[in-house]
Structure 1
Amino acid sequence: MRPRWVIAVVAAPALALVPVPSAAAPAPAPVTPEIETVPLSSARGLTRAADVRELRSENPFALAAARWSGAAPDVLDVRAQATDGTWGDWVTLEAVDGRGGVRASEPVWLGDSTALRVRAERGGAPVDAAELSIVLIDPGDGGTVATRAAAADVAQPPVINRAAWGADETIRTNCFAQQGIGVEYSPTVKAATIHHTAGTNDYTAADSARIVRGIYAYHAQDLGWCDIGYNVLVDKYGQIFEGRFGGLDKPVWGAHAGGFNKFTVGMSMLGTFTDVAPTPEQLESVSRFLAWKLARGYRDPNGTVTLVSGGGGTARYPEGTEVELPTIYGHRDVGYTECPGELGYQQLPAVRQRVTELMAGWDTSPVYQRWQAAGADAGALGGVYELERSAANGGLRTTFASGAGSVYWSEGTGARIIGGAIRDTWAAYGSEAGHLGYPRTDELATPDNVGRYNHFAGAGGSIYWTPSTGAHEIRGSIKTAWGQLGWERGPLKYPTTDERGTPDGRGRYNHFQNGSIYWTSGTGAQAIYGAIKSKWAQLGWERGPLGYPKTSEQQTPDGRGRYNHFEGGSIYWTSATGAHEIRGAIKTKWAQLGWERSFLGYPTSDEFAISGGRRSNFEHGYITWNAATGVTTARSY
């Protein structure tokens, strides 16, 4: 077993959603590539001046790269000896910016090989062998690839996911843990960078997964990127491979074009296209993926974008430089590289034309039109974060604002904006497929300017939010009763819970900042708050002797007090007496005497036990009930 050479890795975004496992073939087990770094000083020279050096390995390898100290070599070529003894063509290794100052090349696919010849020059002279190391990569066997179906939209072409090509996710996760980083996302994707991987074009369809796996291991470990740099890779057979982890439908921040990784998706064609053109199958798959990505991300394939260079050793433009680029451009447009090869670069106009054909009608989407009306990228929604996709019952949805906001559309509700905590609460209830259905308003400010809300099509429901209460749903009869009291400007203020079921299973309720509304099919929805609610709680809520409220809190006829009637009695309150319950025969007697306008006035105690019966005290007397005779007697003090 050759030693593994693992180093730190760079932040990488994530890929997930798009590819789904095929029912026909389970995903293969992960395969961990092996990497060996060999100092060039251990190689032996083959020609005069040692301008060509040869390395031999005890174990076959299939990809190779180089690392060096000092300035990058002016000439850096390799050729490999296949396992059958034949030597391949010379292949150029192109420099790339590694993490933490790593000076290295991109890896190239050579096919299964046992020896490597290296030609490295700087300033017309061979590079000092002590300054150069060769990285040999064995991607391992296995990883039989089965094409995966698109997850959500028929416009998305089939993609081979990471599990299918045998990605060992521990390479990525261990690197993230070591560096204290994780998946990174741009706010949106504005453009696509087209690459080639370089290396031989002589590979089989089964080799493609091995190539991807080898590039992943090298990018993640030797270059310190924690993951493969490209978002997507396409082989000459038209197979599309999921690259960087984080979600093909999201703006995963790759490591494919130094200085121009933000706001771009990187697509790399497997092979070298300096003297050989990409295959028709390869170009069609590139076009189909870009058509899906750009159409659902609201980008014109024939437009231009302005990107700001992040700088770096391989970037063509210094940090901070604004560069206008086509929406679909080649790596050489932003970097010191021949990538994607002269014949690959020449195909970009045809790719743009084919993408345009495939995207016909993309700008008729009602969500796209709503986004445009809201100011597009310059508006409050910002750019597309998660691509437009189908939603429940024939609807559409797109996520914006780095994931914070969304637009949902249905035939009955139109395109509506929802985001933040309100969207999170809505999602907890199943989003548009749940009982609230689609939003029928945008997120709006409440009249008191304290909160925010969306109304929904289902269950007569809404979600209200304030910084202090959070976001809570309210619906049906409880919402109607709250509205009759004046909404958030009424006595209850904002909801502090979603609608919930009561412990006894008979009712429903929402709590509010200043009270509650309780509902049953027999009592309807009634508001209870303040001291009366506190008394009811002391008595055991709906499971106490009073049961559920039958009225909302009301003012007494004499204007001095407040009350709620309940299934099993009442609670009366005044500022002088406090809140007290009254029920049964004692309440009936008090009612016969004229309630609070009788000579007794308001109750000053709850009903309590006495010898032989029960008693309630009032402001000016008391009522007793005899258990033996059933007689109630009212007396004044």
Structure 2
Amino acid sequence: MRGFLASSIGVATAAALALPLALPTPALAESAAPAGPAGSTQSLPLVPLGPGRDRATGAPGMSASPRVPEAQGLPAREVKTFSLVGVVWDDAATELLGSVQVRTRSVDGGFWSDWQDVETHNSEHAADPDGAERSSGRVRGGTAPLWVGPSDGIEVRVQAESRVRTLSSLPTGMRIELVDPGEVRPPAPDDKNGSTPTDGDTGTDGGTDGGTDGGTDGGANGDHKGQPSMVPGMTMEMAESSLANVPHAPLGATEIAELNKADATADAVFAGDAVEAAARPYIGPRPKIITRRGWGADESLREAGFVYTQSVKAAFVHHSASGNNYACKDAPAVLRSLYRYHVVSSGWRDFGYNFAVDKCGNVYEGRAGGIGKPVLGAHTMGFNSNSMGIAVLGTFTASEPPQAAVEAVAKLTAWKLGLFNADPRGKAVLKSAGGNKFPRGRNVSLNVISGHRDGFATECPGKRLYGQLPPTRTASARLQGRP
């Protein structure tokens, strides 16, 4: 692919680096949503790059048949500020058999990045094939999103695989989505929908945050009020940039109260009738969870109402495949960008995952509906029912996941799976709703803590994170108090 566009891209790159980019057409402004505190999305159509090939024979040159471009993209151009990119196309069932690369110009310094790869296999992060969310008519195919940080210039190239260039292999209607997360000021510590945790807070789990219960807020013993919380593997730099002043779902309080006042509390299980969590023998201490309000979710974007399944029998661990180039203080902006990409660009009803974890081990509420409930997500096509999805922010194919993030996954699963009496070291039987690994209707035995690849043929959650799942199961069970 790199050879195919080498000469033309070299010229374009040199020009882009030498000259300031200008906003090329009024159409760009028309395609962008109005800027505002809730963020915006620019959606720009990709155009053919280079010569085409005959649709029937695959041969280059003149032909009466329509010609298929071997590559599509977008020449270097100036755009409104954005921080996350992804490519979407019309048909969610169509796979992009090829590669996607982007270059971006940083707002801070005005320099262009090197070409960055965008993960193309993203369709497996989606609603089940026959689900209402999947058949809404708004769902589009798309790559994984890539976090690039505040940028105001973009160049894109998409190329079909060499083995399929004789076919109409590139999806129709490809567009580059440029997402601006917007600026959101965290609510004050006494906000009615959340509270700022401090060391020494005692909750209904019977433990003391940051104390002998294992640090349910991600803190370590001996932390002092006003000092950054530390967990094993967290550097002081990471701790200082952690999210100490955003609201966390308080212990024993009602989640997202202003959206659904009848929502379950964190200490009750949704199973037709409320069952006290304390009645179950193995429930890990509840970690502090940053609410949707805490990370600035624009609730007007998602569909109203919530969809629940019967239970939470298993947890699927994912990586967001959005790159590792973010600071923990930027994680709320990353989440707001992912949320907009899932809903506005991809057409999903809400954020796809039930929870997210950043590199510092902060845990975030994902899809709305109540963190103690079995909310139906769109994370593991074929196995969204009776499961939950946890996305670790980053890409862990070749990079090791931070220990703080791995420990946060163990803490979160110990609590949430414990609410539904699930042993993290055990097996769960889930019925497939259809996918590329198990046919629809098959009952499949899976680990209670599984990687995405266990239910769908994918690289997710990356080789390195997947390799951390066996010790995570052991740690989660230990936190539940299991022998």
| TM-score, normalized by the shorter chain, greater than 0.5 | yes
Query: Distance between the aligned counterparts of 2:31 and 2:360, measured in 1?
Result: 31
* Correspondent of 2:42 among 29, 36, 42: 36
Q: 1:534: which partner in 2?
A: none
1:231, distance to aligned residue in structure 2 (A): 0.5
Q: 1:342: which partner in 2?
A: 463
Q: 1:115: which partner in 2?
A: 154
1:34, distance to aligned residue in structure 2 (A): 1.0
Evaluate the alpha carbon distance shift between residue 163 and residue 119 of structure 1 in structure 2; reply closer, same or farther with a 3 A threshold.
Answer: same
Residue identity matched to 2:358 = D
1:44, distance to aligned residue in structure 2 (A): 5.5
| 1:128-277 equivalences in 2 (<5 Å) | 131-144=173-186, 145=243, 146-147=245-246, 148=248, 150-152=250-252, 155-172=285-302, 175-176=303-304, 182-277=305-400
Q: 1:103: which partner in 2?
A: 141
- Which protein is bigger by CA-based radius of gyration? 1
Query: Distance between the aligned counterparts of 2:316 and 2:394, measured in 1?
Result: 16
Query: Distance between the aligned counterparts of 2:395 and 2:341, measured in 1?
Result: 18
Q: Secondary structure, in 3 states, of the residue corresponding to 2:300?
A: helix
Q: 1:66: which partner in 2?
A: 87
Query: Distance between the aligned counterparts of 1:323 and 1:93, measured in 2?
Result: 27
Whether the 8 Å contact between 2:97 and 2:169 is mirrored in structure 1 is no
- CA displacement 1:253-281 (0-9 Å, x = unmatched): 11111111100011000000011011011
Whether the 8 Å contact between 1:40 and 1:130 is mirrored in structure 2 is no
Q: 2:281: which partner in 1?
A: none
Residue identity matched to 2:179 = I
Q: Which one has more relative contact order, counting CA pairs under 8 Å at least 6 apart? A: 2
Residue identity matched to 2:98 = V
- CA displacement 1:296-315 (0-9 Å, x = unmatched): 32101111011111125xx4
Q: 2:480: which partner in 1?
A: 359
- CA displacement 1:164-208 (0-9 Å, x = unmatched): 111111112xx33xxxxx310011100001001112201011211
Q: 1:281: which partner in 2?
A: 404
Query: Distance between the aligned counterparts of 2:171 and 2:478, measured in 1?
Result: 52
Answering whether residue 448 of structure 2 is matched by residue 316 of structure 1, we say no
* Correspondent of 2:103 among 54, 67, 80: 80
Whether the 8 Å contact between 1:3 and 1:34 is mirrored in structure 2 is no
Query: Distance between the aligned counterparts of 1:318 and 1:31, measured in 2?
Result: 44
1:214, distance to aligned residue in structure 2 (A): 1.0
Q: Secondary structure, in 3 states, of the residue corresponding to 1:95?
A: coil
Q: 1:564: which partner in 2?
A: none
Q: Secondary structure, in 3 states, of the residue corresponding to 1:169?
A: coil
Query: Distance between the aligned counterparts of 1:266 and 1:50, measured in 2?
Result: 36
Q: Secondary structure, in 3 states, of the residue corresponding to 1:272?
A: coil
Residue identity matched to 2:122 = A
Evaluate the alpha carbon distance shift between residue 291 and residue 112 of structure 1 in structure 2; reply closer, same or farther with a 3 A threshold.
Answer: same
Q: Secondary structure, in 3 states, of the residue corresponding to 1:216?
A: helix
Evaluate the alpha carbon distance shift between residue 201 and residue 143 of structure 1 in structure 2; reply closer, same or farther with a 3 A threshold.
Answer: farther
| 1:387-402 equivalences in 2 (<5 Å) | none
Residue identity matched to 1:151 = L
Whether the 8 Å contact between 1:78 and 1:92 is mirrored in structure 2 is no
Evaluate the alpha carbon distance shift between residue 129 and residue 325 of structure 1 in structure 2; reply closer, same or farther with a 3 A threshold.
Answer: closer
Query: Distance between the aligned counterparts of 2:38 and 2:120, measured in 1?
Result: 24
Whether the 8 Å contact between 2:44 and 2:177 is mirrored in structure 1 is yes
Query: Distance between the aligned counterparts of 2:311 and 2:170, measured in 1?
Result: 44
Query: Distance between the aligned counterparts of 2:297 and 2:290, measured in 1?
Result: 11
In structure 2, list runs of 5 or more residues that go unmatched: 1-27, 52-59, 61-68, 128-133, 187-242, 253-266, 268-283
1:129, distance to aligned residue in structure 2 (A): 8.1
Whether the 8 Å contact between 2:119 and 2:144 is mirrored in structure 1 is no
Evaluate the alpha carbon distance shift between residue 254 and residue 68 of structure 1 in structure 2; reply closer, same or farther with a 3 A threshold.
Answer: same
1:74, distance to aligned residue in structure 2 (A): 1.6
Whether the 8 Å contact between 2:289 and 2:364 is mirrored in structure 1 is yes
Query: Distance between the aligned counterparts of 2:418 and 2:332, measured in 1?
Result: 28
- CA displacement 1:592-612 (0-9 Å, x = unmatched): xxxxxxxxxxxxxxxxxxxxx
Aligned length: 329
Instruction: State the 4+ residue runs in structure 1 displaced beyond 6 angstroms.
Output: none
Query: Distance between the aligned counterparts of 1:349 and 1:163, measured in 2?
Result: 33
Whether the 8 Å contact between 1:3 and 1:36 is mirrored in structure 2 is no
Evaluate the alpha carbon distance shift between residue 204 and residue 323 of structure 1 in structure 2; reply closer, same or farther with a 3 A threshold.
Answer: same
Q: CA RMSD in A?
A: 2.9
Evaluate the alpha carbon distance shift between residue 31 and residue 330 of structure 1 in structure 2; reply closer, same or farther with a 3 A threshold.
Answer: farther
Query: Distance between the aligned counterparts of 2:299 and 2:31, measured in 1?
Result: 16
Query: Distance between the aligned counterparts of 2:164 and 2:439, measured in 1?
Result: 27
Answering whether residue 131 of structure 2 is matched by residue 92 of structure 1, we say no
Query: Distance between the aligned counterparts of 1:165 and 1:334, measured in 2?
Result: 29
Evaluate the alpha carbon distance shift between residue 2 and residue 288 of structure 1 in structure 2; reply closer, same or farther with a 3 A threshold.
Answer: farther
Residue identity matched to 1:62 = S
Answering whether residue 73 of structure 2 is matched by residue 53 of structure 1, we say yes
Whether the 8 Å contact between 2:144 and 2:322 is mirrored in structure 1 is no
Query: Distance between the aligned counterparts of 1:265 and 1:128, measured in 2?
Result: 32
1:85, distance to aligned residue in structure 2 (A): 1.8
Residue identity matched to 2:104 = Q
Query: Distance between the aligned counterparts of 1:226 and 1:69, measured in 2?
Result: 17
